Structure 1
Amino acid sequence: MIGLGALFVACWSSGFIGAKLGAADAPVTTVLMWRFVPLALLLAPWLVRSGAGGRAGLGRQILVGALSQSGYLLTVYCAIGLGVNTGTTALIDGVQPLVVAALAGPLLGVAVSGRQWAGLGVGAAGVALVTWSDATSGHGTPLWAYLVPFAGMCCLVAATFLDRRTRDRPSPVRAVAIHCTTSAVVFTALAVATGTALPPASARFWLAMAWLIVFATFGGYGLYWLLLDRVGVTAVNTLMFLVPAATTIWGTLMFGEPFSAWTGTGLALALAATWLVSRRPQSRERAVSAARGAPPCHRTGVAGVRRGRRFDGGSA
């Protein structure tokens, strides 16, 4: 799982870099259309296979895809196009574990420990510090632009909970096929409506599309849903705290984006939050959990039972 987690972080962060590469040669709608049309064609065999949940399940997965891909990516690409740094965009999206943790109890029946809340609070401080540093750096990005990636993060959170509350979910491959087809339809419609469907002929644009398809979609997005099934929602969203550091390093090396002392401090706080949230409970904590009749969670530190199912990646 450690190897898959590291690969997920690298691939997810690559999506922010690919977005900036593609946006250098074409409008956001063009980039997104030509990212997902080839994907929909490649994944068509899995789309036509019968899956769990019937028509209701298919409709639910279409909604999940519209939120987790269409809504999320449109806001991320727009934020980067408005001038928000790739690392800052990734870190604002890193608020996701805070929102998930706050809603996990009422929506999924998952308990979050005090240690985890402390870690999530540290992560929020890191996000605020880096965002403030970027917003006041004087590079001309309007302040409201920093709310755009926050809206995208909310879309991904909503999709995650909608998927977790579904009893009969399709396989990760079929789910990705449904989501990519949904996004292909949405972004093609947007590109045609805005007159931006024609792609540029530059080699850099098509290199960016290949980058986004292979690394960001198959690697990042595919691993997101695979890891959700295997290790649970808390563990996966904790990995999101590592994405901003990877993205910031990529952005600094590839695009010369500024890396200030405030940026480093904020990222250090985010990494500290990851350690606090994801580390295994101490033996005394395990003993207390056992005395209360709660199973120790060796993967996520969260013991949650709802309707006979655990939400840390296994079954009760």
Structure 2
Amino acid sequence: MNILLSIAFVLCWSSGFIGAKLGAGSASAITVLMWRFLPLAVVLLAVALVMRSAWRGLTARDVTRQAVIGLLSQSGYLLSVYYAIQLGVSSGTTALIDGVQPLVAGALAGPLLGQYVSGRQWVGLALGLSGVAVVTLADAAAGTDAAWWAYAVPLLGMLALVAATFLESRSRSRVAPSVSLTVHCATSAVLFSLLALATGAAAPPADAGFWVAVAWLVGLSTFGGYGLYWLILERSGVTEVNTLMFLMAPVTAVWGALAFGEPFGAQTALGLAVCLAAVVIVHRPGARPGQTEQPVDQGGRDRLASVPCPAPSPTDPNHRLSGGCSGR
């Protein structure tokens, strides 16, 4: 995996937790999410009208499948993150709880996708989980005002994202990234708008900080975070992309400490080092996570995700083994 893509993904994905914290200071989670996705959906739909070629050949089933993926990976996941932060769970702790996602996805990659998970990868996953636990204990020791059940809310979001990842991975049809992002955002915009109208939370606050948070979330978290997530998923496989998730917790903890004064001590630093070691183990040269020597369907049907690789042609039978993308 390209190291620059990995760094950009970690920063952009972590920015979502920080943006949620910024928005929580001036509005409810539903209000922030509605105004994050409503203008974004309008822009993407307008672009779709101009770039109609990307939508050719799509069936109603393809669009419905992408809508379900959007409900899980954006609506369900983000609502849980924002709501947890609104309940008083710190941005760092929320990211830490979501840090168990790589272990879940890695464990399911074999039975659900037929991907090979090497012993080195399992060592990296276990080490990463240990690092997350270290940082979690340090954060919990600092104490928060959140209710005990609030810490289960991010866990639900993590499970929603794992489900979306595997649903996308098992898709047999190719959907352009611009199309999937448009469907995901439009679905989220409709859902959050309905929730905001139903709860009387649709009106945005008269606060410039609110719009700064919205711009932050649209630019970094949506385009950067989700765009890179699906791109790296396609190129490197479920186990490897989710191993990067172990970095979200410590990076968010550092970011939260600098931006909001959240606690960051020696134990947190130790957890960060352990997580970095886990990623090095999994990503060092020679690792081929998510790949086996099984042949790939010439039509590109035996595939990991619907985000297309830039080259070569998907009709090339060697495309997914030599082009840097994962194949089952």
Q: TM-score, normalised by structure 1?
A: 0.89
The one-letter code sitting in structure 1 at the alignment partner of 2:32 is V
2:101 alignment partner, one of 71, 96, 107: 96
Correspondence for 1:58: 63
Alignment of 1:135-174 (within 5 A): 135-174=140-179
Give aligned pairs, total. 300
Question: Contact (CA 8 Å) 1:109, 1:304: kept in 2 or not?
Answer: no
Correspondence for 1:4: 5
CA deviation digits over 1:257-309, x for unaligned, max 9?
0002222222222222112222234xxxxxxxxxxxxxx73xx3743748644
CA deviation digits over 1:101-153, x for unaligned, max 9?
11001110001111111111111222222223323323222222221111111
Distance in 2 (CA, whole Å) between partners of 1:236 and 1:100 is 10
Distance in 2 (CA, whole Å) between partners of 1:114 and 1:146 is 31
Give me the CA root mean square deviation. 2.0
Distance in 2 (CA, whole Å) between partners of 1:163 and 1:51 is 19
Distance in 2 (CA, whole Å) between partners of 1:304 and 1:82 is 47
Shift of 1:180: 0.3
Distance in 1 (CA, whole Å) between partners of 2:134 and 2:30 is 31
Say if 1:244 and 1:226 are closer, same or farther in 2 by CA, change over 3 A: same
1:270 alignment partner, one of 244, 269, 275: 275
Correspondence for 2:185: 180
Distance in 1 (CA, whole Å) between partners of 2:245 and 2:278 is 11
The DSSP-based 3-state class of the residue aligned with 1:43 is helix
For structure 2, the 5+ residue unaligned runs are: 305-323
Say if 1:163 and 1:304 are closer, same or farther in 2 by CA, change over 3 A: farther
Alignment of 1:137-286 (within 5 A): 137-281=142-286
Question: Contact (CA 8 Å) 2:196, 2:202: kept in 1 or not?
Answer: yes
For structure 1, the 5+ residue unaligned runs are: 282-295
The one-letter code sitting in structure 2 at the alignment partner of 1:31 is V
Say if 1:166 and 1:128 are closer, same or farther in 2 by CA, change over 3 A: same
The DSSP-based 3-state class of the residue aligned with 1:144 is helix
Distance in 1 (CA, whole Å) between partners of 2:25 and 2:69 is 29
The DSSP-based 3-state class of the residue aligned with 2:219 is helix
Distance in 1 (CA, whole Å) between partners of 2:182 and 2:293 is 29
CA deviation digits over 1:81-116, x for unaligned, max 9?
122221221122121111111100111000111111
Shift of 1:174: 1.0
CA deviation digits over 1:27-52, x for unaligned, max 9?
11000000000110110045554255
Distance in 2 (CA, whole Å) between partners of 1:52 and 1:73 is 30
Shift of 1:217: 0.5
Correspondence for 2:19: 18
Distance in 1 (CA, whole Å) between partners of 2:273 and 2:23 is 29
Question: Contact (CA 8 Å) 1:51, 1:170: kept in 2 or not?
Answer: no
Correspondence for 1:125: 130
Correspondence for 2:87: 82
Say if 1:253 and 1:114 are closer, same or farther in 2 by CA, change over 3 A: same
Question: Contact (CA 8 Å) 1:61, 1:175: kept in 2 or not?
Answer: yes
Percent identical among aligned pairs is 57
The one-letter code sitting in structure 1 at the alignment partner of 2:325 is G
Question: Contact (CA 8 Å) 1:235, 1:278: kept in 2 or not?
Answer: yes
The one-letter code sitting in structure 1 at the alignment partner of 2:143 is G
Question: Contact (CA 8 Å) 2:15, 2:221: kept in 1 or not?
Answer: yes
Distance in 2 (CA, whole Å) between partners of 1:89 and 1:34 is 22
Correspondence for 1:313: 325
Q: TM-score, normalised by structure 2?
A: 0.85
Correspondence for 1:303: 292
208-217 vs 262-271, greater mean Cα deviation: 262-271
Question: Contact (CA 8 Å) 2:23, 2:213: kept in 1 or not?
Answer: yes
CA deviation digits over 1:149-195, x for unaligned, max 9?
11111110000000000011311111111000000001001101111
Distance in 2 (CA, whole Å) between partners of 1:306 and 1:74 is 40
The one-letter code sitting in structure 2 at the alignment partner of 1:15 is G
Shift of 1:243: 2.0
1:29 aligns with 2:8: no
Question: Contact (CA 8 Å) 1:135, 1:141: kept in 2 or not?
Answer: no
